[in-house]
């Protein structure tokens, strides 16, 4: 009987890439009250009062401010919900997303 060697088969592991990240950006406007922006940042992005105030002031001074970085689905959802909160009160509050470099 011939000797047969059994070679173990190796399974190729699929290479899993990390998901691309997206920045949620607060765009400043001259109509939305600062207190309301802070309230939205605290509610939607779970920021402290101090963090929310700093983000709001940065957006006010520079025109825009990165609020947080998430995967695409989460970034889109949070940006949409935060923008919708402003629209519900009649404010032109705007959050956008863009890919992180």
Q: What is the CATH number of the domain that holds 69?
A: 3.30.1390.10
**Is residue 54 one of the residues assigned to a domain?**
yes
**Is residue 11 one of the residues assigned to a domain?**
no
Residue burial 9-45, b: 16+ Cβ < 10 Å; e: rest = eeeeeeeeeeeeebbbbbebeeebeeeebbbbbeebb
Mean pLDDT of 21-26: 98
Residue pair 43/85 in contact by the 8 Å Cβ criterion: yes
Residue 68: the pLDDT is 97
Give the range of the structural domain holding residue 52, as residue numbers without chain letter.
21-99
Residue 69, by phi and psi: left (phi above 0), alpha (psi -120 to 50) or beta?
Answer: beta
- Chain segment 34-93, per-residue pLDDT in tens: 999 999 999 999 999 999 999 999 999 999 999 999 999 999 999 999 999 999 999 999
Residue 10: the pLDDT is 73
**Is residue 15 one of the residues assigned to a domain?**
no
- Model confidence at 96, in pLDDT bands (50, 70, 90)? very high
**Is residue 56 one of the residues assigned to a domain?**
yes
Provide the 3-class DSSP secondary structure of residue 83: helix
Q: How many domains does the chain have?
A: 1
**Is residue 55 one of the residues assigned to a domain?**
yes
- Model confidence at 3, in pLDDT bands (50, 70, 90)? low
């Amino acid at each position: 009987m011939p000797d047969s060697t059994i070679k173990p088969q190796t399974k190729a592991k699929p290479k899993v890439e990390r998901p691309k990240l997206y920045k949620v950006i607060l765009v400043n406007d001259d109509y939305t009250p600062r207190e309301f922006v802070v309230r939205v940042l605290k509610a939607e992005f779970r920021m402290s009062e101090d963090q929310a105030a700093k983000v709001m002031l940065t957006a006010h001074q520079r025109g825009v401010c990165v609020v947080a970085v998430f995967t695409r689905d989460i970034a889109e959802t949070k940006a949409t919900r935060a923008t919708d909160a402003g629209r519900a009160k009649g404010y032109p509050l705007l959050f956008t997303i863009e890919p992180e470099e």
